[in-house]
Structure 1
Amino acid sequence: MAFYSWFCVLSLTVLWSLASPLYHVQGHGCDFSLGKWVIDDSYYPLYDASRDCPFIGQGFDCLKNGRPDLEYLKYRWKPSSCDLPRFNGVDFLERYRGKKIMFVGDSISNNMWQSLTCLLHIAVPQSNYALQTPTKQLSVFTFLEYDASIMWLKNGFLVDVVHHKEKGRIVKLDSIKSANKWNGVDVLIFNTYHWWTHSQDSESLVQFQVGNEIIKDMDPMEAFKIGLTTWSKWVDANIDPSKTTVLFQGIAASHYEEKGCLNQTHPYQGPQPPYPGVEIVQKVLSSMSCPVYLLDITLMTQMRIDGHPSIFTGKGPSYEDCSHWCLAGAPDTWNEILSAALLGL
């Protein structure tokens, strides 16, 4: 652990702002997390999910599922102090030829992973690809010509979870044995948040454990902080930043409050209130010895109440999804920012 902590100090690159111990994803000193959504119907949407990327999951293809309005497809994120570079899929694949990129997290990670695989596929539509699911948790999209793999590993809590016959699902806040699946990857993009907020739901009730003690009625946000700290210590102790770049996909806002997201066709404008969990993420990441770069998407997703599938998930009008995101849509912007950061633009 001492070696990697020492090495981390030497590994900071000019691609990132060093003004703060919290490494926001930036380009030329411009914070991509601050800005506004503007209509750009000359360039967006970046693809047609059904026509261009038939491998996208049904629940994200809102047009195919009958969404009647189209304006949500045409918004571009405009950072306050710069322009976000356009996504260059060919350049991305060339730079990551022979490399492995892994998203680790919940279905919001899946949302972003599917967006990235589509953006890359439409850049090289004649290039053969393979989509495999070697395990129930792991999905691998490989661009054969480039020997580049874009993976999603389903892991909603990051820390270990066990299923007890009598006690149900137990989240072990100080245990992270499952992390061995993250080894040998060139870029890791972690995400965890939404499962913690659902931990007290009657359908997904979980218990939290520290050491040998199961703590009843634990505040989910306190549990989130402990679990995220366990993850951060593993990264500091096990990741060599000269070989692996680590990012944390920030908290994507959901919009279940008040009337939900049904019939919402325009983004919010202006400042947004503080979002739960964000301060915890910032504190944990800024306490780490290795640079873990925050892909801060919270503000831009708070604004996009119009970007959710709502009832257009393919599950019928009785099911409203105000947590995930339509594709094409907001996750494409997350990947534009990811690309700009990774390619050093």
Structure 2
Amino acid sequence: MNIFIFSSFLLLLLVNQNGYQIDAKEYCNFFKGSWVFDETYPLYNSSQCPFIEHVFNCQRNGRPDHNYLKYRWQPQGCHLKSFCGYGFLNKFRNKSIMFVGDSLTRDQYQSFLCMIYTSVPGNRYTQKREGDISTVTFLDYGLEVKLDRNLYLVDMVREDIGTVLKLDSVANKASKWLQNDVLIFNTFAWWGRKGNRKPWDFVRFRNNTMEDMDRTVAFKLGLYTWIWWVEHFIDPAKTRVFFQTVSPAHYNGREWDDPNSKNCGGETEPVLGSEYPGSLPPALGVQKRIIGTIKTKVKLLDITHLSQFRKDAHPTVYGEFGKSGMDCLHWCVAGVTDTWNEILYNLLL
């Protein structure tokens, strides 16, 4: 038999058996597909999860609709393996997983905790926070799940002149990152903040201290500094590293071909199909080019495109600020961040 025909037949057999590939991550692009309505979703009842903060807890905050909870991400040509809490807890017994990033990482972190906690009845845990690092330990398995609240990944330090963003240093947190078996990094949302909305007074690169600089350049320099740290300190045999791409916001209905919509408020359904009308954020290209330089050490969690479809899944007025604000940046928990974690789970298998 022709070797190409035999290989194609074998791949088809692997795809069809039990509805997914035996090793799906070898053949499947988890990040291309569409959202399908699934009555078995969500993966858990948010009222039964003790980890969800007010800003993400849309159901507790009074959101009246529920259909946004019922959509499952379906990759093209394969299926995501269903999350198994028992299996995951046993596989990562006595291990440590850390999420590092801003409030969108916190969004994902709380989703991840909920998925683990609700999957095993009587799942005992402890919580603690030391500085910017929160830790939940699942006692019966010794698994630690941590969050490092870190806006830029590079250091931000207090000096006599004020708060300085150091684009060429990650020294303050790097030693704590290396204590973990799995690391999931994210940064983007804060790089564009200016005026009183930025948390630093000066930015520094190679002993040059400035009041400000081109933010795209600063973003690139910060990512290259993080890449340098990964290249020099990460041993892939000991630590698995993921970098999560830009999480899209929905503040302009023209992006999803609805010019009458000013924002995500009142949206109750995703954009259906496999093509999103709007363009990808320019920052995504920056991230992919830079992270791609060390792809043997970092796996890209490319959640941008799949999340663009979900204009329906933000807190809107059921978030941190209630009716006085419109949150089209963060995500309800349960919701889209569960899918990010389902993909992460499949990549960790």
Higher relative contact order (CA 8 A, sep 6+): 1
CA distance 1:35–1:247, shift in 2 (3 Å) = same
Residue 191 of structure 2 corresponds to: 196
What's the CA shift string for 1:141-168, capped at 9, x where partnerless? 11100000011011110001123565x4
Residue 99 of structure 1 corresponds to: 95
CA distance 1:28–1:289, shift in 2 (3 Å) = closer
1:85 aligns with 2:88: no
Instruction: Note the aligned Cα RMSD (angstroms).
Output: 1.7
Residue 19 of structure 2 corresponds to: none
What's the CA shift string for 1:260-292, capped at 9, x where partnerless? 211111112423412121111111111127420
Amino acid corresponding to residue 196 of structure 1 in structure 2? W
Shift of 1:82: 1.0
CA distance 1:227–1:69, shift in 2 (3 Å) = same
Which of 42, 46, 59 is the equivalent residue of 1:45? 42
Take 1:163 and 1:74, find their aligned partners in 2: how far apart are those partners?
45
Shift of 1:212: 1.7
Shift of 1:216: 4.5
For the Cα contact (< 8 Å) 2:98–2:180, is it kept in 1?
yes
Residue 119 of structure 1 corresponds to: 115
Take 2:295 and 2:303, find their aligned partners in 1: how far apart are those partners?
23
User: Which structure's CA Rg is the greater one?
Assistant: 2
Residue 261 of structure 1 corresponds to: 264
Residue 156 of structure 1 corresponds to: 151
Take 1:180 and 1:39, find their aligned partners in 2: how far apart are those partners?
43
TM-score of the superposed pair, with normalisation by structure 2: 0.86
Residue 318 of structure 1 corresponds to: 324
Q: Which stretches of structure 1, 4 residues or more, deviate above 4 A after TM superposition?
A: none
Take 2:232 and 2:52, find their aligned partners in 1: how far apart are those partners?
36
TM-score of the superposed pair, with normalisation by structure 1: 0.87
Determine helix, strand or coil for the equivalent of 1:170: strand
Written as runs of structure 1 = structure 2, the 5 A alignment for 1:2-21 is none
Shift of 1:301: 1.2
Determine helix, strand or coil for the equivalent of 1:232: helix
Residue 16 of structure 2 corresponds to: none
Amino acid corresponding to residue 154 of structure 2 in structure 1? V
Take 1:263 and 1:123, find their aligned partners in 2: how far apart are those partners?
31
Take 1:188 and 1:172, find their aligned partners in 2: how far apart are those partners?
22
Take 1:316 and 1:62, find their aligned partners in 2: how far apart are those partners?
10
Runs (5+) with no aligned partner, structure 1: 1-25
Amino acid corresponding to residue 267 of structure 1 in structure 2? P
Take 1:289 and 1:314, find their aligned partners in 2: how far apart are those partners?
36
What's the CA shift string for 1:114-169, capped at 9, x where partnerless? 11111011111212111111x13111011100000011011110001123565x43
Amino acid corresponding to residue 33 of structure 2 in structure 1? G
Shift of 1:195: 1.0
Shift of 1:211: 1.7
Residue 11 of structure 2 corresponds to: none
Shift of 1:78: 0.6
